Amino acid sequence: MKELGVEVLAISTDSHFIHKVWQEQELSKMVEGGVPFPLLSDPGGRIGQVYGVYDERAGVDIRGRFIIDPDFVVKAVEILTPEVGRNPEELLRQIKALQHTRNTGEVTPSGWQPGEKTLKPGPALVGKVWEIWKPQV
């Protein structure tokens, strides 16, 4: 993520002791050396409450992913139950699309990948999106 200029943090209600064991016993076997970003503890779920992912009954943060821009504006949110895995490729695509939009003012259609056509917002685009964007279903 460093090549994209992105900082990644993982936050959960687990203690730093649990994170250490998780990193050593599980993550290091999935990713050589473990995950290359900090695992932070949110005891009591205060951070989770701010982001709307804290389950007070269970005392845990629900899995959530947030993309926050350099101005500290939340640009994307994904919240999943533990039974559903996350898609790192989609996360990277969204980061690249948000960076492209920020740098150019253009917008990216669904599924956009770097190098593909973008849309230039404005009155001239009204009624013509279909000419540029052909979604593949």
Neighbouring C-beta atoms of residue 22, cutoff 10 Å: 17
Calculate the average pLDDT of the chain: 89
**Residue given tokens 């279903």 in the structure block:** 137
Neighbouring C-beta atoms of residue 15, cutoff 10 Å: 11
Q: How far apart are CA 76 and CA 68, in angstroms?
A: 7
Q: Is the pTM of this model over 0.95?
A: no
Query: Quick one: three-class SS letters along 52-116?
Result: CCEECCCCEECEEEEEECCCCCEEEEEEECCCCCCCHHHHHHHHHHHHHHHHHCCECCCCCCCCC
Q: pLDDT digit string (tens) for 75-123?
A: 999 998 888 888 889 999 999 999 999 999 999 988 899 999 898 888 9
Q: pLDDT digit string (tens) for 14-30?
A: 999 999 898 888 888 88
Q: Which tokens is 60 given?
A: 């845990």
Q: Is-contact 101 112, C-beta < 8 A?
A: no
Q: How far apart are CA 109 and CA 41, in angstroms?
A: 36
Q: Which tokens is 6 given?
A: 């992105």
Specify the 3-state DSSP secondary structure of 10: strand
